[in-house]
Structure 1
């Protein structure tokens, strides 16, 4: 697969996705080193696994014996380590290119979509594990039952991988089976519009190897527009496999399953994680796994025991008598769905929403959608936008304060405040939080640090 590679150096190794690739290389017996702007729990874990980690980026971090340099897509070409590697003639690959190379050697199940990728990837990986398929899994989160969190080493033929559409990175993959959760406007700093996004998904499903199939959410309007042969669909209102009679009670949810093609009712599906969006994620995993010949009983038991993954509506502890939930959601649809899910699961409690927008371009381009969904909790705190290095357009500045002003303009009665950083956010929470509250701390940036610090 990576013949002749004895030492790989990763630039930006602290990312949740690229760190899984580093673990894959370690599993192959390859020496791994890496760097990032600072240490983190992820890099600490990698060091314990034998990775030589460097805090900060310097050309001298790249050992002379390095055979391959792998970099995060966020790392520019003028990074000192990339410059040094170029001068020394060391081959370079991006993280998506590496995933693509890995995927050539497996029957790859690639999970893509605007929302729900990580959860669905984890669910499918766990079901295949329970069925004895011994899959390799690479996921952009941490799965509690996987020893290495975001990576599972397997000897079977399947690779289950989270496929990200940002900058059309998933087009490097060579999938056999494609799972599409949904398609919405996002990453509009790269894509022109929803048509451009959908075209990329079309290109992706057209890359399938052999007789591979596509699993998709037929309730999703944009997915319906794709031209797909050999497909299996799921959904609530449409699809071969549909759910109905959904119930939510005491921190659990159930739904009946029906095979519309065979006109038969199947067994109930039970989940202990909140949200109808998670039920749809589970149905994507159910449909994929059933299509691979796995028994309904194994699928049902695995999903019923699925307790969630890192930063996906994750209960991290209590603080001043309030439940603290950390969530990665940063798209308007994910925000709205998560608040609604917590309302269902915690019917008699106040919901306090702390949100950190992620990336200036996304905030600007989806501004009206953010204004629509933010402020739906009992009280809302919006802290300043998390700045993604190299992706801030100074010519078109925008602040979280603009969101707060727009929301208050629409409804002056909304209980919503702006904070300039995490320390001020904690101060604001101290004034708001009461015993028995539920505090949702949400965003894809460093807002999770606040959730961990509080508990």
Structure 2
């Protein structure tokens, strides 16, 4: 018998499913899973990528560009929040009476009818999901894992196809669709004001959404939550007594069920001991830098221990994790120069990533931060926090704001204004570049052995890291 809120499970075998935006991280992962479950998958995207090429080479029909004809014969059309209502394929599906699902409905079908682990939070979702998946793989549970980024341990894919009962998935809170998930285990990494454009600018509405998500955890299930985060603790305090179990993890809060102690950071990574309810379990060594990754690893450990993965097996799996794509991804490492790219686009993420960069480079080297703000709305809302986020950088460079399609500029909100605010806060000038080529030429003229160049942002700033690495390679060939 289905629990309240569940849709009946979908039999995907033989279904013709069309994905609008099939090359996206989340969409391509779902397409992979449905292919493996016997669906006839098609999809479209605006440009080719490694993800679309893999899908096309493994049985999917992939179109570059959107056209109403692409949905002909589809049993189901899947879209995501970024697809505009006037997309020709979406319009054609609506007119033809073809069922239309948001991508979260497909993911809900996978989570709700299996042993689901849903990982949410403002920061750390992708890394924590990947770590958790690897822990369960090492424990022999053969999970299906769906991540919001490419993971080298999964063959650079955004999904791992498993045959066991567990599904580990990233549950995005940005548009409220995580309320469709009814997991056995929910992980909450942290909660901060973000994506408030969906929540009418009201942080309280975002908190209500998180409360609803936690209320969806199946009776007797487990909430794994960061006990170091005050807002998360506030959410935990509102849970009905006895309905679900709670496992808090952390570094600072002494009442956490799973706690890291003796955290030692260095250029090669991080080492710490793990204690559970006051007794030592052992040590963990991480190749990925930063104390924020200690928390991510603790969350993955908590899930693994709950499921039945021995601590030593979980610790070994975490030691072998080298990070998801665009999560402190080393692009170039030669002649004493490091170029690193990261998805950090929120002040908290910027601070954590810069601390990791300082840990990696040490006190002697310079950290050059190249940041591309994303969205005018986010930049306006978090302007003060952005201005205070760059304390660990020796040099700060900004690009123009990367705005998604449809977002209009906001008067008084610009990278020039943000650069001035950062300069006031830090007491030193901040460079601003409108031209990508001028930025790369400036970096080539500026960078020297001992430097770490860190590109950050949720837009296309990763191309700067890639192109800078190519130019450096050309200057100093092997």
TM bucket, shorter chain: over 0.9
Q: How does 1:166-185 map to 2 (within 5 A)?
A: 166-185=174-193
Q: How does 1:25-424 map to 2 (within 5 A)?
A: 25-62=34-71, 64-147=72-155, 149-191=157-199, 192-226=201-235, 227-228=238-239, 229-238=244-253, 239-259=256-276, 261=277, 263-318=278-333, 322-347=337-362, 348-374=364-390, 376-390=392-406, 392-396=407-411, 398-411=413-426, 413-424=427-438
In the alignment, structure 1 residue 433 sits paired with structure 2 residue 447: yes
Q: Is the 8 A contact 2:224 2:303 kept in 1?
A: yes
The change in CA–CA distance for 1:394 and 1:273 in structure 2 (over 3 A counts) is: closer
Please give the alpha-carbon distance, in whole angstroms, between the structure 1 residues aligned to 2:375 and 2:49: 21
State the Cα RMSD in Å.
1.7
SS of structure 2 residue aligned to 1:110: strand
For structure 2, list consecutive stretches of 5 or more residues without a partner in the other structure: 1-8, 470-478
Q: Is the 8 A contact 1:375 1:415 kept in 2?
A: no
In the alignment, structure 1 residue 7 sits paired with structure 2 residue 23: no
Please give the alpha-carbon distance, in whole angstroms, between the structure 2 residues aligned to 1:104 and 1:136: 13
The change in CA–CA distance for 1:148 and 1:320 in structure 2 (over 3 A counts) is: closer
The change in CA–CA distance for 1:375 and 1:234 in structure 2 (over 3 A counts) is: closer
Please give the alpha-carbon distance, in whole angstroms, between the structure 1 residues aligned to 2:439 and 2:20: 32
Q: Is the 8 A contact 1:275 1:337 kept in 2?
A: yes
Question: Once structures 1 and 2 are overlaid, which stretch shifts more, 214-223 or 415-424?
Answer: 415-424
Please give the alpha-carbon distance, in whole angstroms, between the structure 1 residues aligned to 2:325 and 2:194: 22
Q: Which consecutive aligned stretches of 4+ in structure 1 deviate over 4 angstroms post-superposition?
A: none
Partner of 2:30: 21
Please give the alpha-carbon distance, in whole angstroms, between the structure 1 residues aligned to 2:203 and 2:100: 32
TM-score, structure 1 as length reference: 0.95
Q: Is the 8 A contact 1:375 1:416 kept in 2?
A: no
TM-score, structure 2 as length reference: 0.90
Please give the alpha-carbon distance, in whole angstroms, between the structure 1 residues aligned to 2:63 and 2:297: 39
For structure 1, list consecutive stretches of 5 or more residues without a partner in the other structure: none
Q: Is the 8 A contact 1:353 1:380 kept in 2?
A: yes
Please give the alpha-carbon distance, in whole angstroms, between the structure 1 residues aligned to 2:156 and 2:289: 25
